[in-house]
Structure 1
């Protein structure tokens, strides 16, 4: 099931790959996610942001690592979704996922101008990804 693999990767990058039976790739992605999340202090920033401490969330985040995360996240979701279907089209299907990763990185760059930075960046990533999954569901 493609959508289940993608949802697992949305919950934790690498879980969709493990669901697809790509154990080593999945573990590798989980390790990268934890490394990037810890060094970028992403969870701390999310916690502060969702509790209304938006400026403190921006100060807590280490943007050297945060800017890597949206593209990595979008790639992990696409990889799990793509490899869950044999003979899927590799030329068109990554476009919405690339857009999501790009918008997430741009949102992170301009996070200090957003009212709720982490939620806004998350939506900039997830909405194009879900649109791509719907548009290319038969590809």
Structure 2
């Protein structure tokens, strides 16, 4: 892979991490970009996501749980990871078979982390709706990458 292509892939991934839709705008996919930004905004506002992030950073986990609208926030992991995958693919990444699997499993694991976030304690500590999903991300990526390798060998 060329340095220029690697730089472009890194750029779109980092902009996707900042806000879903930004990379699509950067890639010239304006309709998709505005759709993702709009969806992110609606989900963010309806789920109280910014308030939940602030409370979590202050260590007020129980209060962040109480402020979370889980019915809306459950949409966020799939939107976030799909927008990231889409931007990566549009920028020229994801050419190998099943390269989407790490993104898909990351979305699944983040969602499961979110589901268990109000009750799951790690070493007796309630992690909450921000940190448990974030901790679930690398596990989902690893599982997706592992399954991708297995499927590559089978197919």
Q: Trace 1:108-123 onto structure 2 (pairs within 5 A).
A: 108-112=114-118, 113-114=120-121, 115-117=126-128, 118-123=130-135
Q: Deviations over 1:48-98 (max 9, x none)?
A: 111011011011010001111011111011110111007834x41110000
Residue pair 2:88, 2:94 contacting (<8 A) in 1 also = no
Unpaired stretches in structure 2, ≥5 consecutive residues: 1-7, 149-155
Is 1:20 the counterpart of 2:27? The answer is yes
> Bigger radius of gyration, 1 or 2?
2
**Structure 2 residue matching 1:92: 3-state secondary structure:** coil
2:113: which partner in 1? 107
Deviation at 1:126, TM superposition (A): 5.7
What number of residue pairs does the alignment pair up?
Answer: 133
TM (normalized to structure 2)? 0.77
Task: Write the distance in 1 (CA, Å) between the matches of 2:141 and 2:24.
Answer: 17
Runs of 4+ residues over 4 Å off in structure 1: 126-132
Aligned-residue Cα RMSD (Å) equals 2.3
Task: Write the distance in 2 (CA, Å) between the matches of 1:53 and 1:75.
Answer: 30
Task: Write the distance in 2 (CA, Å) between the matches of 1:102 and 1:116.
Answer: 18
